[in-house]
Structure 1
Amino acid sequence: MPGSPTARRRRLAIELKKLREGHKLTCNEVGEALDWSGSKVNRLETGSGRVQPSDIDALCRFYCTTDELREFLKQLAKDSKLRGWWHAHGRAVPPWFSVYIGLEQDASSLRQYQCELVPGLLQTPAYTAELHRVTNQLAGEELERHVNVRMERQEILHREDPIDLWAIVHESVLRHHVGGRAVMREQLERMLMVSQLKNVTLQVLPFNAGSYPATGAFTILGFPEQADPDVVYRDGLTDAVYLEASADVSQYAKAFDTLRATASSPPQSASLIKRVLEEYSR
């Protein structure tokens, strides 16, 4: 079964919760019937606990599922225990960000708004290195590992079935000097080049755009299977927030649509990037 272990774990949790809710039972009621704790059922449904084959068998017998569904859930549980390529990078991928990379690898679309920095999938090695050097005080091999992770993530834009990226950046991102003029020239050239890909749409929200939702940076991850609902991701310096409630996701989707309508068109955005690039070249 294709997909990252993180995404498989999430899908398994969704399916288990769907089964319980379909029977109109609480976690405590299921736990009591199986001689488990209600907290164990909750852990299985939130993906925060390892699911054993015996757990799947017990739940499927209790819910009277088909053999086909039971085997499907067992395969999800098996796949969720695999290690993704990013785990080999050790401390360069903290646990809170490991979850995001796993979801990003399995996503079919990303809708992203950045108001401070160039989106990670569009960054150059030099730009990425400068961010990690200043933010995390990194140097040498450790810095190189962090840069390699970001560059490897960018492969999803070029794979056989590439992710669909729609990125909106505020004009301040273009004018925020990160690493000096040479680094910024290379970075803006990179953004222009990637924006030419058929699966990438890039817009700039100019200073004169007027009012727009003050959301801060966020990413909406969409998935190829209808059973996997969208996720909103917001990151901080040492942690991240994942929003999956349909009301939350809907609010961010509306905000993104407003930002998309307010921002300059892709051709106009490319022209603005070129003008800023000329300023860095003087």
Structure 2
Amino acid sequence: MAGSPTARRRRLAIELKKLREESGLTCNQVGKELDWSGSKVNRLETGQGRVQPSDVDALCRFYDTSTELRALLRSLAKDSKTKGWWHAHGNAIPSWFSVYVGLEQAASGLRSYQGEFIPGLLQTPEYATELSRASADQSHEEIQRMVEVRMRRQQLLIAETPPDFWTVIHESTLRHIVGSRSSMVGQLERIVELAGLRNVTVQVLSYDSGAYPATGPFTILGFPEQEDPDVVYREGLTDSVYLESAADVSLYTKAFDHLRALALSPGRSISLIRETQKEHSR
């Protein structure tokens, strides 16, 4: 499985849960048979704990899996122990956001809505710095590391096999001055530049778009493997929420489809961004 250690750990958890459900057993029943606690089985199936190859072997023997599946699961367990590039930045990435970065690096598709600020993948260093200063009580060095992480994340948009990034941003994000008017001119230029990539689509939800689903910012992450279902990510001030149930993902997918249907076309969106850029230049 391609992707980051985080994505491999998630895939392993999905496969382990699938094996147990196919057996018709509960976590407690499996744990009892293996002299484990039921909570350990649950942790392995939710990706909350590191899975040792010996754990995989024990589970595969119990479930009587094929040799091929055991080899796959052992490989996932081994690869999930490695650290992604973002771990080198320490506290610049909160633990709850580290999970998102790992999933983002493995995604083949990203659909996002942002109604307050420019999405992180489109931000300039100046814009990102101002947001970091306002949202966290950090030292200058820590803020710089946070900005470096955000800029590093953006490299996935120009990778050899980049994800498709489709974002809907509210018009207010273009007019909300973060930093100075001159820095906003550069920020809007950056959006236009990235929107020129074949894998990036930007739409603006204008003030006169009418009513739309009442939701805060969110991102739907899709993955190349059919076995890896989409996940919805919502971020708060001190934590985040990951929604993986089919019902939740479907609800947010419909909300995003509604938003992009109401938004200006990509071409008209770029025109509005250019017009707003001129207003900031005056």
TM, length-normalised to structure 2: 0.99
Residue correspondence of structure 1 range 170-185 to structure 2 within 5 A: 170-185=170-185
Question: How many residue pairs get matched?
Answer: 282
1:270 aligns with 2:275: no
Letter in 2 for 1:74: R
The SS at the match of 2:153 is helix
The SS at the match of 1:237 is coil
Shift, 1:259, TM fit: 0.3
Distance 1:145 1:56 in 2: 37
* 1:72 aligned residue: 72
Q: Identical aligned pairs, as a percentage?
A: 67
Give CA deviations for 1:170-195 in whole Å, capped at 9, x if unaligned.
00100111001011100000001100
Shift, 1:138, TM fit: 3.3
Residue correspondence of structure 1 range 1-282 to structure 2 within 5 A: 2-282=2-282
Distance 2:72 2:161 in 1: 24
Q: List gaps (5 residues or longer) in structure 2.
A: none
Letter in 1 for 2:66: T
Shift, 1:90, TM fit: 0.6
Letter in 1 for 2:162: P
Distance 1:182 1:145 in 2: 24
The SS at the match of 1:118 is coil
Q: List gaps (5 residues or longer) in structure 1.
A: none
Distance 2:140 2:79 in 1: 35
The SS at the match of 1:208 is coil
Once superposed, what is the RMSD of the aligned Cα atoms? Answer: 0.8
Distance 2:47 2:247 in 1: 21
Which aligned segments of 4 or more residues in structure 1 are displaced greater than 3 angstroms?
none
Distance 2:26 2:239 in 1: 30
TM, length-normalised to structure 1: 0.99
Distance 2:140 2:29 in 1: 54
Shift, 1:139, TM fit: 4.2
The SS at the match of 1:204 is strand
The SS at the match of 1:209 is coil
The SS at the match of 1:207 is coil
